[in-house]
Structure 1
Amino acid sequence: MSDFNIVLLVIVLVVCVLVLLFNTYLLINYQHPDDHNQAYFPKFIVILGLSVAQLSILMLPADVANRHACQHAIYNGACKVTLPMKQLWFAVYIVDAVLVFLVIPFTMFYYEGDQEK
């Protein structure tokens, strides 16, 4: 791998970790006082949903940077060692669809149905 691709991979991993940390902080800071130390599964889904939404937006600049890695390459086979963006796009679309149509509705009904009588 060329140096640019290693740097791009490190940047992608750091941004993913920062997005997860930011969303965790956001959830902890703005959670309702009644939900303190309970409802961990819905909180995990909120963090996951926010992170997937933000990372799907940040995929576009990563795709552009990945494509420009081929233009500045010294040898012709450099495009074969870039990030597999087509597979990453498909993965993001599939995760978005599963979250929107299956996981988030189930979690909403699970959270609302968990009331003490």
Structure 2
Amino acid sequence: MDNTSGASCFVCADAINALVDLIRTADEHSYLTLAVKDLGLFGADNEGAIVTLIELIASTKDDYLLCEAVASLGKIDPGNKIAIPALLERIQTSQDECGRLYAAESLVKIDPGNPKAIATLCQIR
């Protein structure tokens, strides 16, 4: 019996834990963004990864980082709708047109019929 797949699971779990720690402690924006993107590649079905992304979605003020976290959450937990309120709030409160556009595009990906996202996309484009 081949145990290499079991060993890779442990390595993957270690990598996920390292990314979660980096997201929670990073003060350099570029590292944080890379960690969020990487978590979207490796964090499937990992409760710690999902919770970390949800916390980031709820707390970040950065439009780009919010949408990256939503995209990663969508990859590792596709049915999760927790990001919808954060994206709606960003659409309604952001003074940055690009930030509103990015939030609306992200929202349409996880909630395709969302009327606020559709209206925002029509208004901006």
Shared fold per TM-score greater than 0.5: no
- The structure with the larger Rg is 1
**So what's the TM-score if we normalise by structure 1?**
0.34
Specify which structure has the higher proportion of helix: 1
**So what's the TM-score if we normalise by structure 2?**
0.33
Higher relative contact order (CA 8 A, sep 6+): 1
